[in-house]
Structure 1
Amino acid sequence: MNCRQLVGVCTGDFRYWGYEAYDMPIFTYNLGVGEGFYIGVSCQHCEIDSELVLVIGDLHIPERKYYIHPAFKALLAPGKIQHVLCTGNLCSQSVYDQLKCICADVHVVKGEFDELPFPETKILTVGRYKIGLTHGHQVVPWGDRESLAMLRRQLNVSILISGHTHIPEAYEYDGGIFLNPGSATGAFSPLKASPQPTFMLLDIQESSVNLYTYRLVGDEHKVDRMEFPSAA
């Protein structure tokens, strides 16, 4: 039996994401994106041959939002994700501390509202893929494909992750992959007054990158899946 465990069951007290407390029950959910893909379901016979990367950003806690929605918090259980990549604008130490609770390998870049000493850009390797990370407020016009493509070439990476617009995007362009996780809290931005809360999960394999975009619809989350073959 081959399956990948995307996010595990959280049985502990994970109440303090942001500035409002919620009791988190044991969470078990069938992702429903294909056979063998589950959230919160453990499998003794699983062969985990990929690396899981949480891509998140633009939380703006507590200035624009007080907390991340409990439907999202329940998904972000500790211990099952190998890497966290954050596009910045956390805006508080407590949010950074909660990212560190999800996994030890956390990479954050500085947004224009961050006071913590994060770098402007980061480059890291996950599997065989080089990934560049930037907030995106330095890119003019904001979210412009040509400007982002130029930055990807300058960083010499296969995948460029940026934020700032609070609008999720995922596309291939000019020989690279471009991702924007949107705002995990749905914080307002100059481009959109009430964006939909979103984050992304990357399943990085040897020959492909599978992308899952989580969207908050009412009090429930929906998942969209994309595959980028031979991304390196």
Structure 2
Amino acid sequence: MKVGIVSDTHYPDKTSYLPDLLFNVFKNEKVELILHAGDLTAPELLERFEEIAPIIAVRGNLDKPFLPEEKILEIGGLRIGLLHGHRFLSLDEQTLKYKALEMGVDILIFGHTHRFFYKRYEYMGKEVILLNPGSPTIPRMSDPTFLVGEITHERFSFRIFKPWETQWRYP
């Protein structure tokens, strides 16, 4: 299954620009689901993503309270946790690893920092992936980014897209 992964779009509250590449990639890659890790900020943006694929979004610190705080999904034999992360005092790796273990997930997708982050851990006898897709519109000390993930046979890989550069594949 192909999954579009994005966070911190902040449209239109902090930016009037949404890169066409974001929507074009999700369409061209034929993503079957879109995961948004919060700070969507505009309910009408949900409709725009829904034109491409079903979307599951969680509430960020700037979202109205119509979205859930966190979600747990099962896709292709993997448990995926989705949250924004603004409720944590610190978004350090230790806190995120414990949250992943508490949620019982294989992959924890989070946002809030506006920076891409990927790390795979063997932790307390379990493999855990922490993943932040960054922000396609308002990055902080990094390039704008979003991801297309692929889940097959309990394996997860993804490609990172930068609105003005090329892409890379991660295992």
* TM-score greater than 0.5 by the shorter chain: yes
Is 1:178 the equivalent of 2:130? yes
Is 1:128 the equivalent of 2:77? yes
- 3-state SS of the aligned residue for 2:71? strand
Q: Flag the structure with larger Rg.
A: 1
Q: Which runs of 5+ in 2 are unaligned?
A: none
- Could you tell me whether the CA contact under 8 Å between 1:183 and 1:195 is conserved in 2? no
Please give the alpha-carbon distance, in whole angstroms, between the structure 1 residues aligned to 2:29 and 2:168: 23
Q: Deviations over 1:200-225 (max 9, x none)?
A: 111111042111111123xxx31111
Q: Which amino acid aligns with 2:135?
A: S
Structure number with higher helix proportion: 2
Q: Which residue of 2 aligns with 1:66?
A: 16
RMSD: 1.7
Is 1:197 the equivalent of 2:144? yes
Q: Which residue of 2 aligns with 1:23?
A: none
Q: Deviations over 1:174-218 (max 9, x none)?
A: 220111000021x15xxx3x642110111111042111111123x
Q: 1:146 aligns with which of 94, 108, 112?
A: 94
Please give the alpha-carbon distance, in whole angstroms, between the structure 1 residues aligned to 2:155 and 2:109: 17
Identity %, equivalent residues: 29
- Could you tell me whether the CA contact under 8 Å between 1:78 and 1:103 is conserved in 2? no
- Could you tell me whether the CA contact under 8 Å between 1:57 and 1:87 is conserved in 2? yes
Q: Which runs of 5+ in 1 are unaligned?
A: 1-50, 228-232
Q: Which residue of 2 aligns with 1:169?
A: 117
Q: Which residue of 1 aligns with 2:40?
A: 90
- Could you tell me whether the CA contact under 8 Å between 2:8 and 2:135 is conserved in 1? yes
For normalisation by structure 2, the TM-score amounts to: 0.91
For normalisation by structure 1, the TM-score amounts to: 0.68
Q: Deviations over 1:32-89 (max 9, x none)?
A: xxxxxxxxxxxxxxxxxxx001111100011211121123332232792111111011
Please give the alpha-carbon distance, in whole angstroms, between the structure 2 residues aligned to 1:207 and 1:66: 38
Question: 1:155/1:207 Cα in 2 relative to 1: closer, same or farther (>3 Å)?
Answer: closer
